[in-house]
Amino acid sequence: MHEQKVAIVTGSSSGIGLETSLELARNGFYTYASMRNIEKSKKIEEIAKNQNLPLSVIQLDVNDEESITEAIEAISNEKNRIDVLVNNAGYGVFGSLEDLSVEEMKDQFETNFFGVVRVTKKVLPLMRRRLDSKRTIVNISSVGGCIGAPILSAYQSTKFALEGLSESMYYELLPFGIRVVIVEPGFIQTNIMNSSIMAKNGSNHESPYFQLTQTIEKYFRSMVNDNLDATPALHVANTIIDAVNADTPDLRYPVGNDAKTILEARKKLNDREFVDLIKNQLLTNQ
Ligand SMILES: NC(=O)c1ccc[n+]([C@@H]2O[C@H](COP(=O)([O-])OP(=O)(O)OC[C@H]3O[C@@H](n4cnc5c(N)ncnc54)[C@H](OP(=O)(O)O)[C@@H]3O)[C@@H](O)[C@H]2O)c1
């Protein structure tokens, strides 16, 4: 009998992480749904119990080296393998570069970029060993990892950095048979607007960027929270399942019609044409 494959997902308390953990478990992976605050585990535990899914919740804060070490050691002791790692934990910061403090920007990188670095470095030694199995690292980037946007300079920078890291890791891990996949969601119906924050100076009426900041924040909030066309988080989870089950997964998976349209435009248009498109979408009415 084949040993059960093992998956770990960061940021499983809500949104994409929660749906992905459940889908991996439904697809036969023994899934560690990791989250920094274990008190938020009720929802996923109830669903897993009702559906009799192979899923355990485990504490892991991507900013806390010790919690990562403990979680991965626990998995190593219990299962001695990790076949799938989904680096999903993340949040957003709104604010122009001038309104953002260096600390606020560093915090954004700590979670969205160095969080991925820390967890992946701990998982790789265990993952590298199982040469007999399909193993995949899925990094949740964003459309924002490929295009700039005003007032999201910190967030987009973290996702651009993640794209560069992931693409480089892709080559490094080829000799070990470990596949690296980048997922680029558009607007997804999740909790992200509630968990995202505003730069301290972003809501200062005296800021020369105040009006633009308000407009952009409102636009993104409406596109995630009130947009019936925003993609359900389950679609991201299903894309991840397709990628991890594929014999030869693609490097990049845009998710949602909005993501596919804008990323196609980015490929087809030259810089001048593309920035005009974004200016028309985000900077009109200013
Ligand atoms: N929603 C979108 O439109 C969209 C679009 C493109 C990309 N994404 C990306 O998708 C990923 C998931 O976001 P989501 O939309 O599902 O938002 P979400 O519902 O707010 O979920 C974010 C998850 O990340 C967790 N998290 C934050 N900081 C953490 C840390 N230090 N350690 C461990 N977990 C941490 C949160 O935990 P708590 O509950 O404890 O805060 C939560 O579980 C993010 O990387 C985001 O950038 C989202």
User: What amino acid occupies position 115?
Assistant: G
**Is residue 186 a part of any domain in this protein?**
yes
Q: What's the confidence (pLDDT) of residue 229?
A: 87
Query: How many structural domains does the chain have?
Result: 1
CB 16 within 8 A of CB 88: yes
Distance from the CA of 223 to the center of ligand 1, in angstroms?
A: 16
Q: Which residues are part of the catalytic machinery?
A: 155
Q: What is the pLDDT of residue 16?
A: 98
The closest residue, in CA terms, to atom 25 on ligand 1 is: 11
Tokens, residue 52 = 């009799």
Measured distance CA(85)–CA(17) in Å, rounded: 11
Instruction: Say how far apart CA 261 and CA 281 lie, in whole Å.
Output: 14
pLDDT of residue 277: 96
- Ligand 1, atom 33, lies closest to the CA of 61
- For 56, the domain range is 6-283
d(CA 280, CA 276): 6
Whether 1 is in a domain gets the answer no
Residue with tokens 């109830």: 46
Decide if 184 is inside a domain.
yes
* Type of residue numbered 21: S
Q: Within a domain: residue 234?
A: yes
The amino acid occupying position 93 is: V
Tokens, residue 258: 């909005």
Q: To test the ligand 1 pocket, which listed residue (88, 225, 253, 260) has its Cβ within 8 A of the most ligand atoms?
A: 88
Contact 93, 104 (CB under 8 A): yes
3-state secondary structure of 255: strand
CA distance 59 to 34: 6
CA of 28 to the centre of ligand 1 (A): 24
- For the chain (286 residues), the mean pLDDT of every run of 10, in chain order, is 91 98 98 98 98 98 98 98 98 98 98 99 95 93 98 98 98 97 98 95 96 95 90 98 98 97 98 96 77
Q: What token pair was written down for 48?
A: 């897993």
Cα 199 to averaged position of ligand 1 atoms, centre (Å): 18
**Ligand 1 proximal residues by C-beta, below 6 Å:** 10-11, 13-17, 35-37, 40, 61-63, 88-91, 111, 115, 140, 142, 185, 187-188, 190-192, 195, 224
pLDDT the model gives residue 34: 99
Does residue 90 form part of some domain? yes
What pLDDT does residue 276 have? 96
Q: Which atom of ligand 1 lies closest to the CA of 224?
A: 3
- CATH number of the domain at 62, please: 3.40.50.720
Sign of CA dihedral 267, 269, 271, 275: negative
Structure tokens at 136: 């995949």
Predicted pLDDT at 285? 55
113 C-alpha to center of ligand 1: Å? 12
Is 127 in contact with 233 (CB distance < 8 Å)? no
Nearest residue CA, atom 8 of ligand 1?
A: 142
Q: What is the DSSP string of 46-68?
A: HHHHHTT--EEEEE--TT-HHHH
DSSP string for residues in 123-176: HHHHHHH-TTS-EEEEEE--GGGTS--TT-HHHHHHHHHHHHHHHHHHHHHGGG
